[in-house]
Amino acid sequence: MMSLVSYLIISLILFIVGLVVIIARKNIVAILLGIELILNAAALNFVAYSRYVTNNLDGHVFSLFIIVIAAAESAIGLAIVIRFFQIKETIHIDEATQLRN
């Protein structure tokens, strides 16, 4: 039941779901949720490989860094969302087509 491939399949499902969320949703916060799912799929892969393939803890360290980066990304991303909302009064992604104003 538990093997490298089972973890990879779970991670693949997470990735696909994250992808669908990113593409299908138009709400920026929802897209950030999708990004979190994708990042977690990657981190899960790292840890799984570290147990089943490399037998050292580098994968754990990498997934820790992924967690750090995800935290930083969501902080910055949500700050941008709030700022965007202040300016446009909407957080629809299709409104964010210009680099200024």
Partner 1 sequence: MEYTVGNIAPIILSPVIAFVINAFFGSKLPRKGDWLATLSIFISFIFSARVFGDFVFGNFATDYFIHKTFTWFDLSYGANIWKVDMGIYIDNMTAIMLTMVSGVAFLIHLFSTWYMDHDEKHGRFFTFLPLFTSAMLGMVISDNLFSLFCFWEIMGFCSYSLIGIYVKKEKAGDASLKAFMTTRVGDVFLLLGIVALWMTLGSVAYVDIYAAIAEGKFAGQTVMGISLATFTALCIFLGAMGKSAQFPLHVWLPDAMMGPTPGSALIHAATMVTAGVWISLRMYPLMVLGDITWFIAVIGAITAFGAATVAMVQTDIKAVLAYSTLSQLGYMIIGVGVGSYNAAFMHVITHAVFKACLFLSAGSIIHSVHEQEMPKLGGLRKYMPYTHFAMMACTLAIAGIPFFSGFVSKDRILGDALYFGFMAGQNPLLAIVPILGFAGAGLTAFYMFRMMFLTFYGENRMGHHDSHGDHHGHGDHHGHEIHHEHLDARQNVPLLILSVFTLGVWFAGSLTGQGIVKVFGSKTEWFKILVEAPKVERFVNHPRESFGSTDARVKAELPKAVYVHQTGYAGPNPDEHKIHSAHVIGAILSIIIAFTGVFIAFLMYIKKSINPLASKFPGFTTTLENKYYFDNFYIDVIIKKGLLGLNRFLSWFDMGIFDRFAVDGWAAVNRVLFKASKWFDNVVVDAIGVDGTGVAVNLFNLVLRIVQSGKIQFYFIMLIVVLASYIWTVNI
Partner 2 sequence: MFIQLLFGLSALLTVGCAIAVAVTKNIMHSCVFLLGSLLGIAGLYATLGADFVAVTQIMVYVGGVVILMLFAVMLTGGKDFVSRAQNLLGLAPAMGNKWTFSVGLLVGLVVILTNVKLIMNIAKAYPAKVIGNDFPSTVSQIGHLLVKEHVLAFELSSVLLLGALVGAAIIARPRKQG
Pick one of partner 2, partner 1, none as the site partner of residue 54 (Cβ within 5 to 8 A by kind): none
Q: Give the whole-angstrom CA distance, residue 42 versus residue 27.
A: 23
Least distance between partner 1 and beta carbon 51 (Å) = 22
What are the residues binding partner 1 (CB under 8 A)?
A: 19, 22-23, 31, 93-94, 96-98
Is 43 within 8 Å of 67 (Cβ atoms)? Answer: yes
Is 41 within 8 Å of 15 (Cβ atoms)? Answer: yes
Q: Give the whole-angstrom CA distance, residue 46 versus residue 83.
A: 34
Contacts of 83 (CB under 8 A, 6+ apart): none
Least distance between partner 2 and beta carbon 59 (Å) = 8
Pick one of partner 1, partner 2, none as the site partner of residue 98 (Cβ within 5 to 8 A by kind): partner 1
Q: Which of 79/100 has CB closer to partner 2?
A: 79
Least distance between partner 1 and beta carbon 32 (Å) = 12
